[in-house]
A and B are shown apart, each in its own frame.
Chain A
Amino acid sequence: MKALITTWLAAALLVFGSLAQADLTIEITRGSDRATPIAVVPFGGGDALPEDVSRIIHDNLARSGYFDPLERNAMFERPTTGDEVRFGDWRALEVRYLVVGTATQEGNGYRIQYELMDVSGERRMLGEVVTAGNGELRGAGHYISDQIFEAITDIRGAFSTRIAYVTARGTGDNIRFVLHVADADGHNSQQILSSDEPILSPSWSPDGRKLAYVSFETGRPAIYIQNLNSGERVRATSFEGINGAPAWSPDGRRLAMSLSKDGQPEIYVMDIGSRDFQRLTNNSSIDTEPSWAPDGQSLVFTSDRSGGPQLYRYDLASGESERLTFTGNYNARGRFAPDGESLFLIHRGDRGYQVARQELDSGRLVVLSDSGQNESPSVAPNGTMVIFATQQGNRGVLGAVSADGRSSFRLPSAEGDVREPAWSPFLD
Chain B
Amino acid sequence: MQLKPYAKCLALALSLALLAGCASRGGSQDGMAGSADGSRDGVSGSDATRSGQASGSRMGDGAGQQADARIPEVRTIYFAYDSDIIQSEFEPVLASHVRYMRNNSDASVVLQGHTDERGTREYNMALSERRADAVERFLNVQGVSPSQIDVVAYGEERPAARGQNEEAYAQNRRVVFAY
Which residues of A are found within 8 Å of B152, using beta-carbon distances?
216, 219-221
> Contact: A244 with B122, CB < 8 Å?
yes
CB neighbors of B among A273-311 (8 A) = 286, 288-289, 302, 304, 309
Q: Does B70 contact A (CB under 8 A)?
A: no
Please give the number of chain A residues whose Cβ is less than 8 angstroms from any Cβ of chain B in the complex: 38
Q: Which of A172, A244, A353, A394 contacts B160 (CB 8 A)?
A: A172
Q: Does B7 contact A (CB under 8 A)?
A: no
A231 to chain B, nearest CB (A): 24
CB neighbors of A among B146-161 (8 A) = 151-155, 157-160
> Contact: B122 with A289, CB < 8 Å?
yes
CB neighbors of B among A53-104 (8 A) = none
Q: Does B127 contact A (CB under 8 A)?
A: yes
Q: Does B163 contact A (CB under 8 A)?
A: yes
> Contact: A333 with B120, CB < 8 Å?
yes
> Contact: A265 with B160, CB < 8 Å?
no
CB neighbors of B among A370-385 (8 A) = 373, 375-376
Q: Does A105 contact B (CB under 8 A)?
A: no
**Which partner residue on chain B sits nearest A200 by CB separation?**
B121
Using A220-B152, A258-B122 as known contacts, say yes or no to A373 and B129 having CB atoms under 8 A apart. Answer: no
Main secondary structure of the interface of B (DSSP, over half): loop
> Contact: A394 with B129, CB < 8 Å?
no
Top-3 shortest CB links A-B: A198-B157, A286-B126, A245-B122
Q: Which of B120, B158, B159 contacts A332 (CB 8 A)?
A: B120
A171 to chain B, nearest CB (A): 6
> Contact: B153 with A333, CB < 8 Å?
no
Q: Does A269 contact B (CB under 8 A)?
A: no
B22 to chain A, nearest CB (A): 34
> In the complex, A201→B124 CA distance in Å?
13
**Which partner residue on chain B sits nearest A168 by CB separation?**
B157
Which residues of A are found within 8 Å of B163, using beta-carbon distances?
394
B33 to chain A, nearest CB (A): 25
Which residues of B are found within 8 Å of A309, using beta-carbon distances?
119-120, 123
Which residues of B are found within 8 Å of A394, using beta-carbon distances?
162-164
Which residues of A are found within 8 Å of B160, using beta-carbon distances?
172
Q: Does B50 contact A (CB under 8 A)?
A: no
> Contact: B125 with A244, CB < 8 Å?
yes
> Contact: B164 with A289, CB < 8 Å?
no
Q: Does A175 contact B (CB under 8 A)?
A: yes
> Contact: A258 with B126, CB < 8 Å?
yes
> Contact: A375 with B121, CB < 8 Å?
yes
Which residues of A are found within 8 Å of B151, using beta-carbon distances?
241
Which residues of B are found within 8 Å of A356, using beta-carbon distances?
none
Which residues of A are found within 8 Å of B153, using beta-carbon distances?
221, 241-242, 260
**Which partner residue on chain A sits nearest B161 by CB separation?**
A171
> In the complex, A346→B117 CA distance in Å?
14
Query: In the complex, which of the residues B120, B129, B154 has the most CB atoms of chain A within 10 Å of its own CB atom?
Result: B120
CB neighbors of B among A242-263 (8 A) = 242, 244-245, 258, 260
Q: Does A264 contact B (CB under 8 A)?
A: yes
Q: Does B118 contact A (CB under 8 A)?
A: yes
> In the complex, A427→B6 CA distance in Å?
56
> Contact: B162 with A171, CB < 8 Å?
yes
Q: List 10 A-B contacts (CB under 8 A).
A: A216-B157, A221-B152, A241-B153, A242-B129, A264-B129, A264-B130, A265-B125, A288-B125, A332-B120, A394-B164
Using A171-B159, A394-B162 as known contacts, say yes or no to A353 and B121 having CB atoms under 8 A apart. Answer: no
A286 to chain B, nearest CB (A): 4
Using A353-B118, A373-B118, A394-B162 as known contacts, say yes or no to A302 and B157 having CB atoms under 8 A apart. Answer: no
Query: In the complex, which of the residues A175, A220, A242 has the most CB atoms of chain B within 10 Å of its own CB atom?
Result: A242
Q: Does A352 contact B (CB under 8 A)?
A: yes
> Contact: A376 with B118, CB < 8 Å?
no
Q: A242-B129, A302-B123, A394-B162 are in contact. List 17 more A-B contacts (CB 8 A).
A: A200-B155, A200-B157, A241-B153, A265-B126, A286-B123, A288-B122, A288-B126, A302-B120, A302-B122, A304-B123, A346-B120, A348-B119, A352-B118, A353-B119, A375-B121, A376-B121, A419-B121
> In the complex, A346→B122 CA distance in Å?
12
> Contact: A241 with B129, CB < 8 Å?
yes
CB neighbors of A among B109-139 (8 A) = 117-123, 125-127, 129-130
Which residues of B are found within 8 Å of A376, using beta-carbon distances?
120-121
> Contact: B164 with A373, CB < 8 Å?
yes
Query: In the complex, which of the residues B123, B153, B159, B160 has the most CB atoms of chain A within 10 Å of its own CB atom?
Result: B123
Which residues of A are found within 8 Å of B127, using beta-carbon distances?
286
> In the complex, A253→B126 CA distance in Å?
26
B18 to chain A, nearest CB (A): 33
CB neighbors of A among B2-52 (8 A) = none
> In the complex, A352→B151 CA distance in Å?
30
Q: Which of B119, B129, B130, B158 contacts A198 (CB 8 A)?
A: B158
Which residues of B are found within 8 Å of A353, using beta-carbon distances?
118-120
Q: Which of A198, A260, A420 contacts B126 (CB 8 A)?
A: A260
> Contact: A242 with B158, CB < 8 Å?
no
Mask of A337-366 contacts with B, CB within 8 angstroms, 1/0: 000000000101000110000000000000
